[in-house]
């Protein structure tokens, strides 16, 4: 545990070093949400028929959950360690599990801090009417974070091997944002494409977030959380794949190359 804590601390110290990076993260989310606030204000009648809450409320909950995946902290940290050529020191057989867990936890802390800051902000300004079940929310963000991390680590495995995993990471993010209902409910997507939504964990997280944020749905009344648990089985697989990539990269001789 001490190793993980020190690695998380290292990530924080690096983040703090770039004074405005945490602020920019917060403000980019804030301004994105503002855009949707304006869309809701002026195009309400066009979008609302597909939703049982107003469009901005829908976007607010889905976007904060989407943040757990779209911030790409895991892939970016690994890419940065490769760029700084310090990566080979961190992925010795003995450290690799600690390294990955530290990234998962760090990413979770950043996204959760952001989520609660926005909840407080929304409560104080009174722009939204929540009816949150906080226990379910905690369970949802924990399980969502684990299932999204699996996907991030799988992407990072490609970065380690092919050095251009950012493109894959960007593609996944775009596919997720389109098919899992981040910006519009998946009911809007044609029936032909909807099966894609069903294989993405983000779809279930967003559905669950909507229920938890506005309908006070409990863990037991939110079957999407149970489905998300199934996606968590990819986490050990992602660790295995990452270790395999590091091993292959050592054989190719490109572990510290970018």
The backbone torsions φ and ψ at residue 54, rounded to the nearest 5 degrees and listed phi first, read -70, 160
The two structure tokens encoding residue 185: 């409910």
Q: Does 14 bind another protein (CB under 8 A)?
A: yes
Neighbours of 247 (CB within 10 A): 14
Report how far residue 62's alpha carbon sits from residue 171's, in angstroms, rounded to the nearest whole number: 19
Residue 134 vs 162, nearer CB to another protein: 162
Interface with another protein includes 3 (CB under 8 A)?
Answer: yes
Question: What beta strand segments (E) does 1-119 contain?
Answer: none
Q: Which of residues 162, 237, 240, 258 is near another protein by CB under 8 A?
A: 162
Q: How far is the CB of 233 from another protein (least distance, A)?
A: 24
Q: What angle do CA 61, 211, 108 make, to 5 degrees?
A: 50
Residue 84 or 138 having the CB closest to another protein: 84
Q: Which stretch binds another protein (CB under 8 A): 39-47, 110-118, 122-130, 243-251?
A: 243-251
Integer Cα distance of 216 and 134 in angstroms: 8
CA dihedral defined by 40, 41, 44, 48, rounded to 10 degrees?
40
> Nearer Cβ to another protein, position 90 or 117?
90
Q: Which helix (H) or strand (E) element contains residue 144?
A: helix 134-162
The DSSP symbol for 163 reads: S
Q: Which range, of 36-44, 81-89, 104-112, 126-134, touches another protein by CB under 8 A?
A: 81-89
Binding of residue 1 to another protein (CB under 8 A) = no
Shortest distance, CB of residue 68 to another protein, whole angstroms?
25
Lay out the site mask for another protein across 132-161 (x = CB under 8 A, - = otherwise). -----------------------------x
Question: 190: how many CB neighbours lie within 10 A of its CB?
Answer: 6
- Is residue 82 near another protein by the rule CB under 8 A? no
Residues at the contact surface with another protein, assessed by CB under 8 A: 2-3, 6-7, 10, 13-14, 17-18, 84-86, 88-90, 92-95, 98, 161-162, 247, 250-256
């Amino acid at each position: 545990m001490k190793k993980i804590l020190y690695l998380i601390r290292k990530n924080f110290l690096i983040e703090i070093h770039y004074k405005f990076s945490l602020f920019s993260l917060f403000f980019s989310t804030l301004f994105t949400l503002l855009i949707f606030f304006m869309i809701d204000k002026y195009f309400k009648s066009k979008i609302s028929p597909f939703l049982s809450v107003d469009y901005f409320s829908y976007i607010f909950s889905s976007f904060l959950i989407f943040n757990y995946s779209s911030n790409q902290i895991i892939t970016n940290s690994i890419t940065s360690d490769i760029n700084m050529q310090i990566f080979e020191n961190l992925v010795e057989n003995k450290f690799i599990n600690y390294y990955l867990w530290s990234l998962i936890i760090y990413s979770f802390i950043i996204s959760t801090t952001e989520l609660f800051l926005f909840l407080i902000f929304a409560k104080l300004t009174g722009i939204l009417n929540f009816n949150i079940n906080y226990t379910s929310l905690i369970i949802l963000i924990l399980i969502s974070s684990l299932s999204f991390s699996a996907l991030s680590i799988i992407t990072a495995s490609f970065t380690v091997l092919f050095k251009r995993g950012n493109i894959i990471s960007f593609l996944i993010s775009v596919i997720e944002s389109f098919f899992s209902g981040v910006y519009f409910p998946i009911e809007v997507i044609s029936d032909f494409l909807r099966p894609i939504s069903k294989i993405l964990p983000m779809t279930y997280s967003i559905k669950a977030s909507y229920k938890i944020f506005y309908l006070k749905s409990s863990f037991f009344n939110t079957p999407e959380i149970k489905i998300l648990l199934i996606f968590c089985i990819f986490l050990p697989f992602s660790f295995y794949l990452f270790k395999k990539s590091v091993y292959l990269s050592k054989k190719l001789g490109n572990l510290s190359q970018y």
